[in-house]
Structure 1
Amino acid sequence: MFRFDLQHECDGARRGVFHTPRGDVQTPGFMPVGTVGTVKGLTIDQVAATGADMILGNTYHLRLRPGHETVARLGGLHKMCGWDGPILTDSGGFQVFSLGALNRVTEHAATFRSHLDGAKIELTPEHSIEIQQALGSDVAMVLDHVIALPASATEVEDALARSIRWAKRCRDVADRPEQALFAIVQGGLDPVLRRQCATELASMPFEGYAVGGLSVGETPEEMYATAAITTEYLPPEKPRYLMGVGTPRDLLENIARGIDLFDCVMPTRNGRNALAFTDEGPIKLRNAVHREDTRPVMEDCVCLACRHSRGYLRHLFNANEMLGPILLSHHNLMYYGRLMREARAAIEAGQFSEFATMKLRGWGFEPMSVSANGVH
């Protein structure tokens, strides 16, 4: 039911299509984050207008409310939120990590206290799959052990080994052919451990592979190097997903390192805080310089926000009007969607390096260094 067609390669970047029962996902692609069954502040139609093929939901948050059993009784996550396309659900591993002192990880499970009411919850790999099957997502993620960076070699090795064992446990209980299962590569910033984890997981029958354990305290350069090392050992015929990343620069840098799929709360979170992404870099619309600015955020953008002036958008935020965050969230997701479409076109044309260089210079960054075999 799931197939990945790799159609073009250019400067390390890959152009492909991930085929699912609910529709095709064009890659490289960005998945808007709908943590609790909604992309915050936007209707499903507005999300679809950004060009997104697949959105993301979260196992941990939906387990707490409304509860995965409730979601199932409401017809599943697709029917509940009104999204007809593919949905990927995260396993809850990152949320367990983010709870910090509230969690305890053993070989059996991650045990933690709900951030809502303090109730004790045990999340095993088997229970994570049970929840995701009840939600009815098209792609489920294995439960992994996420740790903060920097970390000791012992901590990284322990989390890596446990993530592999948990991936096997998830694979053993996943029994819905209409739901793909993606493994998650851990290993910190250690090239040897990343290779070990990627190689072991690649030997198992997963429909896709994610690069996890990044965007947790490392520098951008460390992230890019680790992504490049990891993708080198992943099957080329399967989609590659970099979890929780990132800025527009992060997307292009990691596309050049062989990544196909991304998700991040950054476009909507920043939009709610009056920051807009543009080809000239981010714009902070609360700044007084925009008080009487009649220009849109971007001249050639067709989002809801760019029907209005920067001055009006600044007024909405300063007046604490809910329309401001809605409009700018839509703009940022439209910007990410357009960036992905342009990247795909550049790969097809054999001009990804030139495209990425132009974008990076517009954002104030040095161009990436690429060779015929990709980034170096």
Structure 2
Amino acid sequence: MTVSPVNFHLVKTCPYSRARAGELVTPHGTVPTPVFMPVGSQGSVKTLTPEEVRDTGMTMLLANTYHLYLRPGIPVVERAGGLHKFMGWDGPILTDSGGYQVFSLAGLRRVSDEGVVFRSHIDGSEHTLTPELAVQYQESLGADIIMVLDECAATDDMNRAEQALRRTHHWAERCLKAKRHRDQALFGIVQGGVFPELRRRSVEFLTSLDFPGYAIGGLSIGEPKQITLSVTEETAALLPEDKPRYLMVVCSPEDLVECVARGIY
């Protein structure tokens, strides 16, 4: 079992719901959970300075590899001393792999088992993203928590969702093999669309790989709100209680409360 630089401690449970309170310990500080991460896709939270973000009570930020890769570019962030210095933020940072943004490009990308070939939404230039490159780019950025590359299939077709699930699992294994930096934690991402059986299979497979934390992906992409909540609750109930759970994309105030009550922390 690999020792993770990020650890989670469960502090308290709610007797009336599945809500939990805990502490997420990272190389850049300890964060009480549940926690909302403001989005700084391109290295800054829009309209706010880092000090103003701190003043709101926020303790952890989210940045996006896709946007940083295209502009200003990974080498620029590296020359600045890494993502923390580039953003002027001394607290924990999580980077998404960029997979969600790539898959949202629709006609601008081609997917295979090897990875994704896509065209930039900025200038139309062609790029390739593989599991290995997703890990390499995120390690270069230097976030505390990095994410595997996954395939987010916005579909109610079970066969298509299952195909994406198999690819996501294969890519998760490749991401683990590609990881080199011991001061960053790599989280797995549960997929499976709106299908409980696929979600169960995804949890079983990913937990067998013993990631230090797990995200629930592929939700809030057009399905009815009640489906979002039910899939969140069913999936969270299957995940290890002693590891953090990251619900991706969902971010409205009402959704935050509802999903915390369903086991997200």
Q: TM-score, normalised by structure 2?
A: 0.96
Task: Specify the alignment match of 2:10 in structure 1.
Answer: 6
Aligned ranges 1:271-310 → 2 under 5 Å: none
Q: Of residues 25, 48, 51 in structure 2, which corresponds to 1:45?
A: 51
How far is 1:219 from its partner? 1.0
- Aligned residue for 2:65? 59
- The letter for the 2-side match of 1:197 is S
Q: Secondary structure at the match of 1:178?
A: coil
* Secondary structure of 1:167's aligned partner: helix
**SS of the residue aligned with 2:241?**
coil
Aligned-partner SS, 1:29: coil
Letter in 1 for 2:177: D
Q: What do the CA deviations read for 1:192-211 (whole angstroms, capped 9, x no partner)?
A: 11000011101112111000
Question: Cα offset for 1:241?
Answer: 0.5
The aligned amino acid for 1:3 is N
Per the TM alignment, residue 50 of structure 1 is displaced from its structure 2 partner at its CA by: 1.2
The residue aligned with 2:132 is 126
Q: Which residue of 1 aligns with 2:159?
A: 154
Alpha-carbon distance in structure 2 between the residues aligned to 1:258 and 1:67: 36
Q: What is the one-letter code of the residue matched to 2:172?
A: A
- After superposition, the CA RMSD in angstroms is 0.8
Taking the aligned partners of 1:73 and 1:176, their CA distance within structure 2 comes to 18
Tell me the residue number matched to 2:103: 97
Work out the number of aligned pairs and report it.
Answer: 259
- Give the match's secondary structure for 2:36: strand
Residue 97 of structure 1 deviates from its aligned partner by 1.4
- 1:1-376 mapped onto 2 (5 Å cutoff): 1-10=5-14, 11-149=17-155, 151-260=156-265
Q: Which secondary structure does the structure 2 equivalent of 1:199 belong to? A: helix
1:108, CA displacement in angstroms? 0.1
Distance 1:224 1:25 in 2: 25
CA distance in 1, matches of 2:109, 2:167: 16
SS across alignment from 1:31: coil
1:95 alignment partner AA: Q
Give the whole-Å Cα distance in 1 for the aligned partners of 2:211 and 2:76.
Answer: 28
Q: CA deviation at 1:81?
A: 1.2
* Partner SS for 1:147: coil
In structure 2, runs of 5+ residues without a counterpart are: none
Q: What secondary structure is seen at the aligned counterpart in 1 of 2:94?
A: strand
Q: Which entry has the higher C-alpha Rg, 1 or 2?
A: 1
2:146 alignment partner, SS class: strand
Shift of 1:98: 1.2
Counterpart of 1:76, as a letter, is: G
Q: Which runs of 5+ in 1 are unaligned?
A: 261-376
Aligned-pair identity in percent equals 51
Q: How far apart are 1:144 and its partner, in Å?
A: 0.3
Distance 2:185 2:7 in 1: 10
Larger helix proportion of the pair: 1
CA-CA distance at 1:58 after TM superposition: 0.4
* Aligned-residue offset at 1:246: 2.0
Deviations 1:245-268 (A, max 9, x none): 1211111111011101xxxxxxxx
Q: TM-score, normalised by structure 1?
A: 0.68
CA distance in structure 1 between the aligned counterparts of 2:163 and 2:255, rounded to whole angstroms: 28
Query: Runs of 4 or more off by more than 6 Å in structure 1?
Result: none
CA shift, 1:65, in A, is: 1.0
Distance in structure 1 (CA, Å) of the matches to 2:235 and 2:117: 29
Paired with 1:158 and 1:232, the residues of 2 have a C-alpha distance of 24
Distance 1:249 1:110 in 2: 34
CA distance in 2 between partners of 1:203 and 1:159 (Å): 19
